[in-house]
Amino acid sequence: MNNFPVIYEPKPERVPFWRRRPHRYVWVALVGYGALIAILMLYMSRTPIYDSAHALVLPGSGSSSNFNIDEVGTANQDTRTPFGSVEVSPLANYREIIKSRNVLLRAADLLRVHPTLLDMPRVELRERTSIMMVHTEGLSGERAQEIGWAFYEAFQAELERLRKDEVARRDDGVQQALAGYRAELERTRQAIVEFQQRSLLVSEDQMTQLMVTLSSVKEQQLTLASSARNTEDFVRQLSLDLGISPSLAGQAFALQSDAAFRGYLKELDASAMLLAEYSSRWGEQHPKVVAQSRRYDKALSSLKVRSVALVGAQVSDALQTTDLQASPERAQLFATLVDSFAKLQGIEAERQEMVRAEMTLTDRLKIYSREAAELERLQRDHSLAEAVYTSAAARLQAGKADIFASYPAVQLLSVPSMPEKPKNPSVKIAAAIGVLGFLFITFALLTLWHRSRLIALILKNS
């Protein structure tokens, strides 16, 4: 009989298959894969979202122009390029304007929907270009396109409002400056008016005209002086030739025009002729000679009395027996002498008047010279004020044309598109998520399955 002790070995307990280690990993994998499938199904069951895109472009160069204003100066108008500054980018500004609440409200008003039903557009800026891509989303392709057009129109309207507001604010500032320039212009103009009211000189043309007149007067004086010398020489020589002065020649014509004097002169001539005839025939005591002598004395006495009455006693002795009608040539010379003397007197009177006019004009020119300096100063101040005011006004008008200085023009490079396929949910995105999720779950389970070996390998290597 064998008395060796027997070693008892208990039988291993049976573990349910779901609690076994390989089966646990299978269950975890199934649960993970199922959750991944549920997420993908939930994603694919979302309402389709369509994305419409349109492109906007900004001009890359500026422009400039200038124009001249007669007697004022030059006005310049420059439109700077929007990309001239490295500190401020108009694309970034426009991105924020497109995403502003004002644009959203205006677009909602155009679409006649509540603003809360619209999402902000998504704006992409392309590097090293002046192009912006604007994306809008809708529940259908048509709706997404309509929303794109609404945001584009709202964006343009907002830019127009900003430009008008900038021009209005700029105008207010310029108008305030113009008010000061206008006041200075009115002050200088009023100073000129007050000076003209209290002075003889109204404009510089008066002084110019006065100098021309004074020069003409001096020239006329020289002409009259020359004419007076010539006439005076002629009168002197003719007077010597006739043996009578111009005044006596005039008195002779006065006597010859008197009818009584002419009658006495004829009587004197007739009696003298008969007295000479009778004296040659008979003696002095002859009755006819005595009678004619008395007749002659009577005519001479009457002629003297009449000449004294007409021209005076001093002149009558020289002219009482002068008969110009008897010698027409001598009468013509007397008339020429009298006419030349009268002309000489007229020339002398005109020359004296010119002398007085020269003195008057010279005195007035002295006054004008003093006043012209003051008037020139006032007009210079007025011209300067007018030039400043006109130049500022021209710059204001030129600035109104530069409405794209701060907000450059935007052109529609491509119209809002009509998407045919929805943006979300995307089969490609779902497939990528499914593949990545499957790989992640599988890799995680494999890592947990071999964690002991991995830990031992790490500890061995360390």
| pLDDT tens track for 413-442 | 899 998 888 877 777 887 888 888 888 888
pLDDT in tens, 314-324: 444 444 445 44
Domain boundary among 365, 380, 395: 380
Domain membership of residue 96 (yes or no) is: yes
- What is residue 341's predicted lDDT score, i.e. its pLDDT? 78
CA dist 188 and 195 (Å) reads: 11
Residues 6+ apart with CB under 8 A from 261: 255, 303, 306, 307, 310
Instruction: Choose the final residue of a domain: 336, 359, 380.
Output: 380
Q: What is the C-alpha radius of gyration for the chain, rounded to an integer number of angstroms?
A: 65
Domain check: are 306 and 370 in the same one?
Answer: yes
Tell me if 350 is assigned to some domain: yes
Q: Which of 31, 2, 36, 6 is nearest to 18 (CA)?
A: 31
Give CA–CA dist 149/415, Å, rounded: 8
Report if residue 43 sits inside a domain: no
Considering the domain architecture, whether residues 256 and 366 belong to the same structural domain is answered as yes
pLDDT confidence of residue 317: 43
Structure tokens at 15: 């573990």
**Is 201 among the domain residues?**
no
Amino acid occupying residue 252: A
Average of per-residue pLDDT across 145-154:
93
Closest C-alpha among 323, 343, 314 to residue 270: 323
Q: What is the pLDDT of residues 363-410, one digit of tens each?
A: 888 887 888 888 888 888 888 888 888 887 777 766 666 677 778 888
Provide the number of structural domains found in the chain.
2
Whether the CA torsion 216, 217, 222, 226 is positive or negative: it is positive
- In which domain, by residue range, is 225 found? 206-380
Is residue 8 one of the residues assigned to a domain? no
Which pLDDT tens digit goes with each residue over 11-55? Answer: 455 545 445 556 677 777 788 888 888 887 887 777 788 889 999
Q: Are residues 251 and 164 in the same domain?
A: no
Written as six digits, the tokens of 98 are: 């497109």
| Higher per-residue confidence, 99 vs 70 | 99
Considering the domain architecture, whether residues 283 and 349 belong to the same structural domain is answered as yes
**Residue 148 banded pLDDT, cuts 50, 70, 90:** very high
254 assigned to some structural domain: yes
Q: Does residue 284 sit in the same domain as residue 345?
A: yes
* Model pTM above 0.85: no
The answer on 368 and 248 residing in a single domain is: yes
End-to-end CA distance of the chain: 58
Q: Are residues 219 and 368 in the same domain?
A: yes
For residues 160 and 246, state if they share a domain.
no
- Assess whether 376 and 350 both reside in one domain: yes
Q: Quick: pLDDT tens for 226-237.
A: 888 888 888 788
The per-residue pLDDT for 106 is 93
The Cα-based distances of 223 to 89, 216, 341, 350 in angstroms read 83, 10, 18, 11
| Strand, coil or helix: 9 | coil
**Residue 32: inside a domain:** no
Look at residue 126 in the predicted model and tell me its pLDDT. Answer: 83
pLDDT of residue 320: 43
Residues 183 and 260 in one domain: no
Closest by alpha carbon to 239, among 344, 100, 325?
344
Answer yes or no: is 432 within a domain: no
On whether both 130 and 247 belong to a single domain, the answer is: no
Instruction: Select the more confidently predicted residue: 125 or 200.
Output: 125
Give the C-alpha separation, 154 to 100, whole Å: 11
Measured CA to CA, the distance from residue 116 to residue 301 in angstroms comes to: 143
Residues 221 and 149 in one domain: no
